[in-house]
Amino acid sequence: MRLNTLYNNKFAVSFEIFPPKTAEGEKNLWKELDILSSHKPDFVSVTYGAGGTTRVKTLEIALKVRDKYGIPPLVHFTCVGAGKNEIEAYLQEVKSHGIENILALRGDPPVGESRFTPHPDGFSHASELIDFIKSINGFTIAAAGYPEGHLEAPDLDTDIDNLKKKVDAGAQFIITQLFYNNDAFYDFMDSVEKKGIGVPIIPGIMPVTSLAQIQKITGLCGASVPDRLLGILKSCGSKDSICEAGLDYSIEQCHELKTWGVPGFHIYTINKSMAVTRIMDALGL
């Protein structure tokens, strides 16, 4: 099932999972997916390891999600360390299995490197990868957006110009990086509209379950942590109370976004179902 018209007439909820590194991790993933699938997500995205390290496993898990649960998969794909021939071969393999939805990403620099270096016969930007995927035909293409700007962008306005290049190249909807400040998202959406970007933009939601978790992830991606959220979590006296307060914040965040009028949510599950279930139940989804 292609996802290009998914957001036309419904509020859609999707989940992200990642390929585990161990057999035990994969066993646990399927236990969690048994629960996650009960919420009937509109699709499940499967991440693509740094430099293509999970390429085979990404495809394997995506196919099993489709075949076991009947849920359309969205396969992540980056152009890190790959030339055009290798990229086309992988895309043709994906297509041969009947997978029709791709999240096209440039990808992060390899571990230990501060700058992205494109393959000599590859692509420097996600927009170039998107244009290449579009030329193959048969795929719905999603891209990433950054409400507070990409870490490598000089400013948010430049980053939104880059987002428009992705859409002009063929991206049909946008999934955003996680954020905890809804006002930043609303400002981002105002700027996006002024740039003439008209495709659906889906907020990425990372449920708050611990202070260490959000400090780590925001440190990596550059998202801000509102003082109010920090104050709530620091006032809690135990890990359990932090988790409860964090999930209350996430539920409130999602409720406000839904009321504002977003077309859906994309929830970063970290391969766990508990927080997702709390949010889905609280919102009646």
How is the chain split into domains, by residue range? 12-207+264-283
The pLDDT, as a whole number, for residue 145 is: 96
Give the pLDDT score at 123: 75
Q: What is the pLDDT of residue 48?
A: 80
Torsion, CA 214, CA 220, CA 226, CA 232, rounded to 10 = 20
Confidence of residue 112 (pLDDT cuts 50, 70, 90): low
Copy the structure tokens of residue 245. Answer: 């307060």
Give the integer Cα–Cα distance in Å for 173 and 202: 8
Predicted pLDDT at 152: 82
Q: What percent of the chain has pLDDT over 70?
A: 90
For the segment 224-280, what is each residue's pLDDT rounded down to a tens digit?
999 999 999 999 989 999 999 999 999 999 999 999 999 999 999 999 999 999 999
pLDDT of residue 270: 95
Q: Find tokens 């795929």 and name the residue.
A: 139
Instruction: Please tell me the least confidently modeled range out of 23-27, 53-57, 60-64.
Output: 53-57
Q: How far is CA 135 from CA 74, 169, 253, in A?
A: 19, 10, 38
- Over the stretch 164-185, which tens digit does the pLDDT of each residue have? 999 999 999 999 999 999 999 9
Residue in 16, 32, 100, 128 annotated catalytic = 16
What is the SS3 assignment for 148? coil
Active site annotation includes 16: yes
How far, rounded to the nearest angstrom, does the alpha carbon of residue 239 sit from its chain's CA centroid? 27
Q: What is the pLDDT of residue 235?
A: 93
According to the model, what pLDDT value does residue 9 have?
A: 87
CATH number of 12-207+264-283: 3.20.20.220
Q: Is the pLDDT of residue 118 over 60?
A: no
Q: Report, as an integer, the average pLDDT of 9-32.
A: 95
Going by pLDDT thresholds of 50, 70 and 90, the confidence category of residue 124 is low
How would residue 107 be classed by pLDDT, with cut points 50, 70 and 90?
low
Contacts of 85 (CB under 8 A, 6+ apart): 121
For residue 153, give Cα distances in angstroms to 17, 39, 56, 149.
Answer: 27, 36, 31, 7
Kindly tell me if the per-residue pLDDT of 64 is higher than 80.
Answer: yes
Name the band, by pLDDT with cuts 50, 70 and 90, for residue 186: very high
pLDDT of 89 reads 86
pTM above 0.75, yes or no: yes
Residue 116's pLDDT is: 53
β pairing state of 173-178 and 140-145: parallel
Stretch 120-146: mean pLDDT: 85
pLDDT confidence of 138, banded at 50, 70, 90? confident
